[in-house]
Amino acid sequence: MVNTMRLQKVALTVVISSILTACATSPTGRSQLIFMPDSQMSQMGLQAFDQMKKEKPVNTNVTFNQTAQCIVTELTKGMGQNWEVVVFEDKTLNAFALPGAKIGVHTGMMELVDNQDQLAAVLGHEVGHVIARHSNERASQQTLTEQALGMIGQTEYGQNPLIMAGLGLGAQYGVLMPYSRTHESEADLIGVDLMAKAGFNPQQSVNLWQKMAQASQGNQPSEFLSTHPAHETRIQQLQEHMPQALEFYKQAQAAGKNPKCR
């Protein structure tokens, strides 16, 4: 029988040593494990984005591009970075963010939204990923997981392929994927606050995810097996958070913030 106590101690040694030297706090107050240099992550993001622009068709629709850039500019005022937004010719409902203040949005998403507020929910979510350093956190988690599995692989248990396969599966579904769902939910909340503070109607974030749920036609994997929360979960979390977002929106309106990026 496998000595699970010894197995746990090996992995725990790696985990504890990294956690003690890499604690950080996200914008929502959540504890994070981050030990990759932000400068390195930004450089990787810039390189990846440049490569995407070379390999993936870039949409030239002036309205699409100006609207997306205008919204991100409003969302990020005061952050001290020049954010680049590129609309890619792709019919899938997607957008993404990379370290280094880079955001890509697909034409499929641009065509889905009904108004600037719904698009602000999408782009605010992506800005949320960047300012919460989610890419760095994911890279740190992945590195830590690989280190722990590597150390176990050097023990007697590493000679058993069934054990190693089980540990790898457990890390994927028990650590990496749940953290990714946490990132998505956190980016939703950061994004809805950002849009509200910029003067966009935060209630349209709920409308957006209702449209996304309809567009998916139920073709979404089980939440346990997905890196994203279920649409219903996202909608519920946004609705629970809405009183705070509406207060930010009220303050923005009182301050005369009324973005016109349509």
* Catalytic residue IDs: 126
| Per-position DSSP letters for 42-88, written without gaps between them | HHHHHHHHHHHHHHSPBP--HHHHHHHHHHHHHHTTTS----EEEEE
Write the burial class of residue 135 (CB in 10 Å: 0-12 exposed, 13-18 middle, 19+ buried): buried
Give the whole-angstrom CA distance, residue 227 versus residue 197. Answer: 28
β-sheet bridge partners, residue 94: none
Question: Do the beta carbons of residue 89 and residue 57 sit within 8 Å?
Answer: yes
β-sheet bridge partners, residue 105: 87, 95
Least Cα distance to 77 among 18, 120, 136 occurs for: 120
Write the burial class of residue 56 (CB in 10 Å: 0-12 exposed, 13-18 middle, 19+ buried): middle
Give the whole-angstrom CA distance, residue 227 versus residue 134. Answer: 13
Tokens of 135: 């890419």
φ/ψ of residue 97, rounded to 5: -130, 150
SS3 at position 33: strand
